[in-house]
Chain A
C-alpha cells in the first residue's frame, strides 16, 4: 500500500465570513499526481491558500494531515520547510528583493530545518545548475528582483524554477497554466514532470483540461461549490472537457471516490 502524504478530511474553510470550502475529502499518496478541476468560484484557489497557510483563510472544521502532521497548526514557513510548495496563481512582485538572494534564503531555511549546512553563493549556484539539469539556468530569474515587472508567463516560470530548486515533497500548483501560451505551458509541464518521483506528489489545480495533456494525472477530481463532487482517472478530464461541468453536477456520485 502506498504511503499517504496528504489526507484532507471534511475540510471547511471561510474567507471574510463566506464559507467557501464545504467539506473537502481528498487523500494523496506519495508518487501520485492529482488534478483538481472546477469552474470559477468553486473553491480551487481557497483550497490552495488554506494548504499553504494564508491567514485570511479560516479553517472552520475538518482536518488536514500532511506527513502525519496536523497541517493547520503549522505556520506557513514551517509547512514550506517540511516540503510543501505552493506555486501561486498570482505570484507576488518583490521589487528590491534579489532573485538569487531570495531563493538562497528559501533553500537555506529548508536546509537548516533538516539539519543540513547552509549554502554559500557559490555552492548555491552549483546546486541550481545541477537541479535545473540540461536546462539553462534562467539568469534573469536570479539577477532581477523577484517577479518585478515580469510578464504573467515569466512569473509562472519563476514559480516552477523555484519548485525545481526547492524540490518539494508536495507541490500544489494553483492555476499555473492560466493565461500561458503553449511554449510557456510546456516549460511549466516539463518542470513538473521532471520532478515526478515515487517519493513526492503533486496536486495540480486547473480550470482547463489542456494542461493535463502535458501533465498526465493519476487522478482527477471535480470541485464544485466547495466540495469534490466527482473523482476518477485521467479520462474524467476529457469527459469534463467534452460535456462540461453541468454534466458532472448531474452525475455527481457516479464516479469512484479515491482514497
Chain B
C-alpha cells in the first residue's frame, strides 16, 4: 500500500519537473542541465522514502508529498514589496540576498562594499561567471547521502545563494540569505540552494533564513553546501520560521579541510513537518565542527533533526548540542550520528541532546548513534528529557513573579544556551527576539 502511494507521489513531482524544465526556455547552462538530468533520473529510480527506511522512521513524508506542489515559474507571478521583506527577516547589517518563492530579487538585495575578491551573489548569474569554481563543488556532496529531497533540489537547480571568501579575508558583516515564501494561489514548492566556499585562513558568518509570510501550505526543499577551507572559520546559522502550515526539508553538508572550524547552528521554530539534516565531514587534521540546534515544537508540529558528524582523519574535535522544547502534542526527533572512521585516531567528540517537555501529550524520540571504528578516541554522548524544575519555579514565585511568567522565563533560559553559541551579537539578539515571541505565544 505504502509503496503504491510513494510511486504516485513520485510521478506528481516528475510532472512538476517537466513544467519547470519547459519554463526555462533554453535559458540554462550545460552544467545545470547535466546536474538536473542526473538528479531527476536518480530521483525517479528512488522515489520518496517511507517510514520503513531507518532514516525516516519517525517522519512519514506522505502528508508532504501527496500535495500537488508546483514550482513558481517567475518573479512576476507574485510581486513582493520591500516592506514584506524587511518585516520578515533579520534586519541587522549584512550583505543580503533576498529570494522570493525561489527567485532572486536584486532590488531588495544588497552587496555593497564587499572586500576585494569576495563574491556574494545569486547562483543563477554566478554559474556563468564562475563556472569552474562552482562546477568543482556544487552537488558533489549533498546527493551522496541518499536523500530524495536533496536530489529533487538538485534537479531544480537554478538560483540560490553563492558565497566565496578568498584566502585570508575576514568578512566582518554576516551574509544573510533570506528565502521567503510569499502568498500565492497555488500550493508552491521552492528549492533554495546555497553554496559557500571559504578559502584558507578566511572567516565568515552565513545566515540562511527561511520564512513564510502567511499561514499557508507550501514546501521548502533546501540544500546548502559548504567547503570550509584550511584554517578558515565558517559560522553557518540556519533560522527556520516557516508558516505553521508549511513543510520544510533542509539538508546541509560541510566539508572541513585541515584546521578548519565550522559552526552550524540550526534554529527551528516553524512548519508543520520539518526535517533537518546537517552533516559535517572532518576531512583534514585539526578540524573542529560544532553542530548545534534548537527546536521549538508546538501544536500539530513534527520537527525531525538527523545530524551527522563524520570523523575521517585523526586529531579532530566535534561538539554537538541540540535542545528541544516540546509543547502541546508536538513531536520532536533527534538522531545524532557520529562516525569515527578507522584512521580517525585521537578524535574527541561530545554530543548532548536535552529536551524540555511542557506537556504530557508531547513526544520526543532521541537517539545517539555512535559508529566508532578507531580505538584511541574519546566520544561521549548524553540525552535528557525533563520538565521545568518545581524548585526553580518556586524561587521565582517567591520573588513576586507569577507562575506563567516564571514558566516562560525558565523555558527561555533553557533555550538560550544554544543561541548564545551564535557569535555574531546582532544575529544572536535577533534569534533571542524570535524565541521570546514564540514563547509568549
Contact = CB atoms under 8 A, between A and B. Distances in A.
Interface string B365-399: 00000000000000000000000011110111111
Contacts of B389: 92
A97 B394 contact: no
Contacts of B69: none
B400 interface: yes
Interface in A72-111: 75-77, 79-81, 85-86, 88, 91-92, 94-97, 101-103, 105-107, 109-110
Nearest to B419: A96
Interface in B406-424: 409-410, 412-417
B409 A105 contact: yes
A101 B412 CA distance: 12
A219 to B, nearest CB: 25
Interface stretch (A17-25, A49-57, A120-128): A49-57
Contacts of B439: none
A160 B416 CA distance: 27
A217 interface: no
Contacts of A162: 399
A249 interface: no
Contact of B401 (A79, A95, A105): A105
B392 A94 contact: yes
A226 interface: no
Interface in A36-68: 52-55
Contacts of B401: 77, 80, 105-106, 109
B385 to A, nearest CB: 18
B156 to A, nearest CB: 41
B417 A113 contact: no
Contact of B398 (A52, A94, A97, A107): A52
Nearest to B413: A96
Contacts of B399: 77, 80, 102-103, 105-106, 109, 162, 166
B402 A77 contact: yes
A92 B395 CA distance: 7
B405 interface: yes
B400 A94 contact: no
Interface residues of A, number: 31
Contacts of B396: 94, 102, 106
Interface residues of B, number: 23
A5 B180 CA distance: 60
Contacts of B416: 96
B398 A96 contact: no
A58 B417 CA distance: 36
B403 interface: yes
Given A92-B391, A96-B417, A105-B405, A77 B397 contact: yes
Nearest to B394: A54
B197 to A, nearest CB: 36
A145 interface: yes
Contact of B395 (A85, A88, A113): A88
B397 to A, nearest CB: 4
**Chain B interface mostly:** helix
Contacts of A166: 399-400
Contacts of A92: 389, 391-392, 394-395
Contact of A80 (B400, B413, B414): B400
B400 A95 contact: no
A145 B413 contact: yes
A109 B392 contact: no
A162 B398 CA distance: 12
A85 B397 CA distance: 11
Given A54-B394, A55-B394, A96 B412 contact: yes
A92 to B, nearest CB: 4
Contacts of A85: 398
A93 B391 CA distance: 10
A109 B395 contact: no
B394 A76 contact: yes
Contacts of A77: 397-403
B400 A81 contact: yes
A235 B432 CA distance: 55
Contacts of A91: 395
B321 to A, nearest CB: 13
B397 A75 contact: yes
**Of listed B396, B399, B400, B405, residue having the most chain A CB within 10 A:** B400
Contacts of A110: 400
A80 B389 CA distance: 20
A55 B398 CA distance: 12
Given A77-B403, A92-B392, A96-B417, A53 B412 contact: no
A135 B402 CA distance: 30
Contacts of A96: 410, 412-417
A223 to B, nearest CB: 21
A149 to B, nearest CB: 13
Contacts of A86: 398
A106 B399 CA distance: 5
A113 B412 CA distance: 24
A86 B394 CA distance: 11
A168 to B, nearest CB: 10
For B391, B395, B416, B417, the residue with the greatest tally of chain A CB atoms inside 10 Å of its CB is: B395
A106 B400 contact: yes
Interface of B: 389-392, 394-403, 405, 409-410, 412-417
Given A77-B399, A91-B395, A97-B413, 15 more contacts: A54-B394, A75-B403, A76-B397, A77-B397, A77-B398, A77-B402, A77-B403, A88-B395, A92-B389, A95-B413, A96-B412, A96-B415, A102-B396, A105-B401, A109-B402
16 contacts: A77-B403, A79-B398, A80-B399, A88-B398, A92-B391, A92-B394, A92-B395, A94-B395, A94-B396, A94-B410, A96-B412, A97-B410, A102-B396, A105-B399, A105-B405, A106-B399
Ranked nearest first, the 4 interchain pairs of A and B with the lowest CB-CB distance are A96-B413, A109-B400, A80-B400, A106-B399
